[in-house]
Amino acid sequence: MSISEKQTIKCPACGEISDLTVWQSITVSDSPDIKADLLKGKVNMFSCGACGQKALFPAPVLYTDDEKKLVISFSPQSIKDERVRIFEEIKKSSEKSEELKNYPDYNLRFVTSYNEFLEKILIFDNGFNDKVIEVIKLLVLAQDSTKMGQRTCIFGKSDEKEIEFLVQDTKENQVYTSRVPLSTYETIKKQLKESGVKFKSFNWEMVDGDYAASLLRGANNTL
Ligand SMILES: [Zn+2]
């Protein structure tokens, strides 16, 4: 079930008061229109009618897509230590409530940035698993290892032959595209499976660059 509430917000820039519908829970089967708004970056995004100031309303969102067996817990947070603390808290409370029993064979993801949240949805919508995609992102960045520190890689789109990634270079102020054949995805998925990676979750998981790096370290013999 999708759940929202109205919030009255004072614009941080000009002080104008306006209303915002804040979504706490989005269930795709009930609310395809809310999902469409989310992918446009409109959900929980405050936009001032007077001065145009935009800001994310810092509310957690639970996103459930039963068809894709995907549940994402989004808790906006940019401080790394806080991220880990909230992650541990959510895992603990889920264990206590035993709510995860409702999600057998699901992928359960914990994310803390809006962009990561939208990227996860896109990855699963395109029929991929993010564990494989995060490894490929790392391999794309490693192609130019001297610039890894100044670049980020995100999933772009896919067609029947290739997956397109967007590589943003903050120093050069450029965005590059990098195309990876689908066969690479299948090969890496097979290797990860063989090395013991599960493509379903037994608890909430943070699947990001650090996760992929630890997989690559552990799977050194096969990749
Ligand atoms: Zn304003």
Please give the distance, rounded to the nearest whole angstrom, from the Cα atom of residue 55 to the centre of ligand 1. Answer: 10
Please give the distance, rounded to the nearest whole angstrom, from the Cα atom of residue 9 to the centre of ligand 1. Answer: 10
Angle at alpha carbon of residue 204, lines to 202 and 206, rounded to 5°: 120
In a domain? residue 2: no
Residue 73 CA to residue 98 CA, distance in Å, equals 16
Please give the distance, rounded to the nearest whole angstrom, from the Cα atom of residue 13 to the centre of ligand 1. Answer: 5
Instruction: Tell me the residue range of the domain where 90 lies.
Output: 60-218
In a domain? residue 42: no
Please give the distance, rounded to the nearest whole angstrom, from the Cα atom of residue 81 to the centre of ligand 1. Answer: 32
Please give the distance, rounded to the nearest whole angstrom, from the Cα atom of residue 52 to the centre of ligand 1. Answer: 6
Which 3 state secondary structure label does DSSP give 113? coil
Please give the distance, rounded to the nearest whole angstrom, from the Cα atom of residue 61 to the centre of ligand 1. Answer: 24
Amino acid identity at 95: E
Please give the distance, rounded to the nearest whole angstrom, from the Cα atom of residue 186 to the centre of ligand 1. Answer: 48
In a domain? residue 143: yes
Determine the pLDDT at residue 223: 46
**Tens of pLDDT, residues 148-158:** 999 999 999 99
Please give the distance, rounded to the nearest whole angstrom, from the Cα atom of residue 2 to the centre of ligand 1. Answer: 28
In a domain? residue 197: yes
Please give the distance, rounded to the nearest whole angstrom, from the Cα atom of residue 15 to the centre of ligand 1. Answer: 6
**What tens-digit pLDDT sequence spans the chain (223 residues)?**
899 999 999 999 999 999 999 999 999 999 999 999 999 999 999 999 999 999 999 999 999 999 999 999 999 998 989 999 999 999 999 999 999 999 999 999 999 999 999 999 999 999 999 999 999 999 999 999 999 999 999 999 999 999 999 999 999 999 999 999 999 999 999 999 999 999 999 999 999 999 999 998 875 544 4
Please give the distance, rounded to the nearest whole angstrom, from the Cα atom of residue 187 to the centre of ligand 1. Answer: 50
Angle between helices 130-142 and 114-125 (to 10 degrees): 110
- The domain total for the chain is 1
In a domain? residue 69: yes
**Tens of pLDDT, residues 14-53:** 999 999 999 999 999 999 999 999 999 999 999 999 999 9
In a domain? residue 10: no
Please give the distance, rounded to the nearest whole angstrom, from the Cα atom of residue 59 to the centre of ligand 1. Answer: 20
Residue 21 CA to residue 46 CA, distance in Å, equals 9
In a domain? residue 33: no
Please give the distance, rounded to the nearest whole angstrom, from the Cα atom of residue 6 to the centre of ligand 1. Answer: 18
In a domain? residue 28: no
- In the numeric block, which tokens belong to residue 203? 């608890």
Angle between helices 114-125 and 32-39 (to 10 degrees): 120
